[in-house]
């Protein structure tokens, strides 16, 4: 009897041993998977950090280039044009003669060129942007567009304006500049509206146009990889300062670009 | 009391699981081989317990049927989830070989009036091998979603635990029945507990299926 009971005990013991082994196998597979997913997450983190660093360096180089060009325009080209104007002013002509009219027209064109160069220099000059508030920089940019008389622009600020970190201000301004340049290049719009909202926990910058709009899916078409690079850059720049950039558009219905920056 | 409940565990567990399946999973049941496995287990175990406990008739031929049909359903299930090259052909080949062995076993060694230790242990062994293949595939080519969110992981883990745990029971059960042991029932109760564990894992897999459908994983 005790031998027979021993048989049953043996069967149960073997069963428990096999169950222990199966538990080890299952736990091993589970742990391996967890480690693998952790490894994938780590790779993704490193990749994102590298991309951010690369973008920071690119932006720094870009700003340095802008500063150099701004300096060159101010110091060299602007000076030369001013001298040309001086020389033209010193030309003696008979009143109401054809030459006098040509001299006057040349002086006006030179004034225009000098003013345009000054504006370009200011737009490129990082220091100029950082010295002003974001609203003032945006207003300046929109005034330049308005002066072309090809667009009607509106600009509104809601809420109490508060000072921003210089780097964040510059990046927000550059994203806005890129969005406005895209409108000028592609939208075929007549009206550009910019709204800057200062909310308790965030700043929202909205740029809307009444242009032809576009198909959002075309931005992510793998057969046309160059399309969408500009918007990707805006996303990356926004990510750099912890902001979120979004684009909404439909063919025939214009485009809305929105930037949300959380603030403490 | 506990031993009384344990006797009926292999009926209560699949019934509870089947009801849960009917209530929660509404679409595409025919494509879920585990549903057919649970349904078949529920029917065959219920009929088997009725034969044994109430009609006091020999129910051992039902175990032959259970073994064959379960192995058939699970082979198709594993061939649908394994992605190794030629795995479907190999599994279907093994199914044919098992089928031949099954009938030869009935004719030569274990007729319908005795417990089919041979075919149960061979079927268990093969299902354990299929489970190892599934785990190996996941180790070599890990999925992008967390394995704990995969219904197949829980289904296979349940089947692996049940068939690996029951292998030695199946292998020795016929021999033990011939020895006329007083507390042989304890061995089959152990099997019933393993069957309950299988049903718990399958239920976990059903919950994952619901979450997959909800979140489109």
What does the pLDDT look like over A129-174, one tens digit per residue?
778 889 998 998 898 888 888 889 999 999 988 888 888 888 899 8
pLDDT level of residue B111 (50, 70, 90 thresholds): confident
Look at A5 and B166 and tell me if their CB atoms are within 8 Å.
Answer: no
Identify the sign of the CA torsion A92, A93, A95, A101.
negative
Look at B164 and A22 and tell me if their CB atoms are within 8 Å.
Answer: yes
* pLDDT for res A222: 57
Contact (CB, 8 A) for A22 and B164: yes
Look at A7 and B179 and tell me if their CB atoms are within 8 Å.
Answer: yes
- From residue A4, give the alpha-carbon distance in Å to each of A8, A17, A238, B178, B190: 7, 20, 77, 12, 17
Q: Is residue B169 less than 8 Å (CB to CB) from chain A? A: yes
Contacts of B106 (CB under 8 A, 6+ apart): B64, B112, B116
Mutation site for B-interface testing, chosen from A10, A22, A28 by largest number of B Cβ within 10 Å: A22
Residue A242 pLDDT exceeds 60: yes
User: Which is it for strands A191-198 and A152-158: parallel, antiparallel or unpaired?
Assistant: parallel
Please calculate the CA angle B179-B182-B188 and round it to the nearest 5 degrees. 85
Which strands sit side by side in the sheet containing A244-249, from one edge to the other?
Answer: A152-158, A191-198, A202-209, A255-262, A244-249
Look at B157 and A26 and tell me if their CB atoms are within 8 Å.
Answer: yes
**Facing A29 at nearest CB: one of B138, B161, B168:** B138
* pLDDT for res A123: 78
* pLDDT for res B211: 67
Residue B215 pLDDT exceeds 80: no
**Per the structure block, which two tokens stand in for A89?**
């002013």
B residues 98..157 contacting A (CB < 8 A): 132, 135, 138-139, 142, 146-148, 157
Residue B98 pLDDT exceeds 90: yes
* pLDDT for res B18: 85
Contact (CB, 8 A) for B137 and B147: no
Mean pLDDT of A33-48: 89
pTM for the model stands at: 0.66
* pLDDT for res A1: 46
- What distance lies between CA A27 and its chain's CA centroid? 47
Residue A229 pLDDT exceeds 70: no
* pLDDT for res A3: 52
Supply the DSSP symbol for B213. H
* pLDDT for res A221: 60
- From residue B21, give the alpha-carbon distance in Å to each of A96, B18, B32, B36, B210: 99, 5, 11, 11, 10
Mutation site for A-interface testing, chosen from B124, B165, B170 by largest number of A Cβ within 10 Å: B165
* pLDDT for res A53: 85
**Per the structure block, which two tokens stand in for A83?**
């001298």
Give the count of Cβ contacts less than 8 A between chain A and B.
68
Residue A11 pLDDT exceeds 50: yes
Percent of chain A with pLDDT over 70: 93
Cβ contacts of B155 on chain A, cutoff 8 Å: none
Higher-pLDDT residue of A260 and B145 is A260
* pLDDT for res B67: 94
Mean pLDDT of A53-81: 83
Query: How many CB atoms are located within 10 Å of the residue A200 CB?
Result: 7
Higher-pLDDT residue of A220 and B40 is B40
Mean pLDDT of B137-161: 87
Residue A39 pLDDT exceeds 50: yes
* pLDDT for res B31: 62
Write out pLDDT tens, residues A54-66. 878 887 888 888 8
* pLDDT for res B217: 46
Of the candidates A151, A138, A214, A158, the residue with the CA atom closest to the CA atom of residue A184: A151
A152 backbone dihedrals φ, ψ, rounded to 5°: -105, 135
Residue of A nearest to B142 (CA): A33
Look at B169 and A11 and tell me if their CB atoms are within 8 Å.
Answer: yes
ipTM tops 0.90: no
Look at B167 and A26 and tell me if their CB atoms are within 8 Å.
Answer: no
Q: Which helix (H) or strand (E) holds A202?
A: strand A202-209
> Helix, strand, or coil here: A156?
strand
Cβ contacts of B167 on chain A, cutoff 8 Å: 18
Cβ contacts of B148 on chain A, cutoff 8 Å: 30, 33
Instruction: Measure the CA–CA gap between A73 and A9, rounded to whole angstroms.
Output: 95
- Give whichever of A127-131, A205-209, B82-86, B209-213 has the largest mean pLDDT: A205-209
Mean pLDDT of A233-261: 88
Query: How many CB atoms are located within 10 Å of the residue A98 CB?
Result: 9
Mean pLDDT of B205-212: 76
A136 backbone dihedrals φ, ψ, rounded to 5°: -65, -40
Mean pLDDT of chain A: 85
* pLDDT for res A220: 62
Q: How far is B149 from chain A (nearest CA, A)?
A: 11
Look at B187 and A19 and tell me if their CB atoms are within 8 Å.
Answer: no
Residue A251 pLDDT exceeds 60: yes
At how many degrees (to 10) do helices A98-124 and A2-72 cross?
150
**Facing A33 at nearest CB: one of B142, B183, B194:** B142
Contact (CB, 8 A) for A248 and A190: no
Look at A12 and B190 and tell me if their CB atoms are within 8 Å.
Answer: yes
At how many degrees (to 10) do helices A78-89 and A98-124 cross?
160
Mean pLDDT of A73-90: 84
Instruction: Measure the CA–CA gap between A159 and A157, rounded to whole angstroms.
Output: 7
Residue of A nearest to B179 (CA): A4
Residue A234 pLDDT exceeds 80: yes
Write out pLDDT tens, residues B53-91. 788 888 888 999 999 999 999 999 999 998 887 888 889
Measure the N-to-C terminal CA separation of chain A; round to a whole number of Å: 80
**Facing A30 at nearest CB: one of B132, B147, B183:** B147
Mean pLDDT of B11-20: 86
Look at B139 and A29 and tell me if their CB atoms are within 8 Å.
Answer: yes
At how many degrees (to 10) do helices B60-81 and B117-140 cross?
20
Q: Is residue B183 less than 8 Å (CB to CB) from chain A? A: yes
Mutation site for A-interface testing, chosen from B128, B157, B174 by largest number of A Cβ within 10 Å: B157
* pLDDT for res A49: 86
Mean pLDDT of chain B: 86
């Amino acid at each position: 009897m005790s031998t027979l009971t021993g048989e049953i005990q043996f069967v149960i013991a073997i069963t428990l041993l096999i169950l222990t082994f199966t538990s080890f196998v299952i736990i091993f597979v589970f742990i391996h998977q967890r480690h693998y997913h952790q490894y994938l997450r780590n790779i993704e983190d490193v990749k994102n950090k590298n991309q951010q660093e690369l973008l920071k360096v690119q932006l720094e180089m870009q700003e340095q280039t802008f500063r150099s060009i701004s300096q060159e325009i101010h110091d060299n080209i602007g000076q030369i044009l001013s001298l040309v104007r001086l020389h033209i002013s010193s030309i003696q002509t008979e009143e109401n003669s054809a030459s006098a009219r040509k001299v006057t027209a040349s002086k006006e064109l030179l004034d225009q060129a000098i003013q345009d160069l000054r504006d370009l220099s200011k737009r490129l000059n990082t220091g100029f942007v950082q010295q002003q508030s974001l609203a003032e920089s945006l207003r300046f940019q929109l005034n330049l567009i308005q002066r072309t008389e090809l667009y009607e622009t509106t600009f509104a600020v809601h809420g109490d304006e508060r000072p921003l970190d210089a780097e964040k201000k510059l990046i927000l301004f550059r994203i806005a500049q890129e969005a406005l340049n895209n409108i000028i290049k592609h939208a075929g719009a007549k009206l550009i509206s910019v709204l800057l909202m200062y909310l308790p926990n965030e700043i929202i910058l909205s740029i809307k146009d009444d242009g032809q709009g576009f198909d959002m899916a075309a931005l992510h078409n793998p057969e046309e990889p160059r399309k969408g690079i500009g918007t990707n850059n805006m996303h990356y720049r926004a990510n750099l300062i912890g902001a979120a950039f979004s684009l909404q558009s439909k063919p025939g219905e214009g485009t809305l670009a929105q930037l949300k920056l959380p603030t403490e | 009391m506990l031993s009384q409940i344990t006797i009926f565990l292999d009926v209560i567990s699949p019934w509870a699981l089947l009801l849960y399946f009917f209530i929660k999973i509404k679409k595409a049941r025919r494509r879920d081989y585990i549903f057919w496995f649970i349904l078949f287990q529920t029917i065959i175990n219920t009929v088997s317990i009725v034969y044994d406990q109430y009609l006091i008739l020999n129910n051992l031929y039902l175990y032959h049927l259970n073994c064959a049909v379960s192995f058939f359903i699970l082979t198709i299930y594993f061939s649908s989830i394994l992605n190794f090259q030629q795995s479907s052909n190999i599994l279907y080949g093994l199914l044919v070989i098992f089928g031949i062995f099954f009938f030869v076993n009935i004719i030569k060694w274990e007729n319908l009036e005795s417990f089919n230790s041979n075919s149960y242990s061979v079927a268990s062994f093969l299902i354990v091998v299929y489970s190892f293949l599934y785990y190996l595939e996941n180790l070599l080519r890990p999925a992008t979603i967390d394995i704990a969110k995969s219904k197949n992981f829980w289904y296979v883990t349940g089947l692996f635990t049940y068939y690996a745990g029951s292998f030695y029971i199946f292998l020795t059960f016929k021999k033990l029945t011939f020895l006329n042991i007083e507390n042989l029932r304890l061995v089959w109760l152990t099997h019933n507990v393993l069957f309950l564990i299988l049903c718990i894992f399958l239920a976990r897999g059903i919950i994952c299926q619901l979450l997959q459908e909800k979140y489109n994983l």
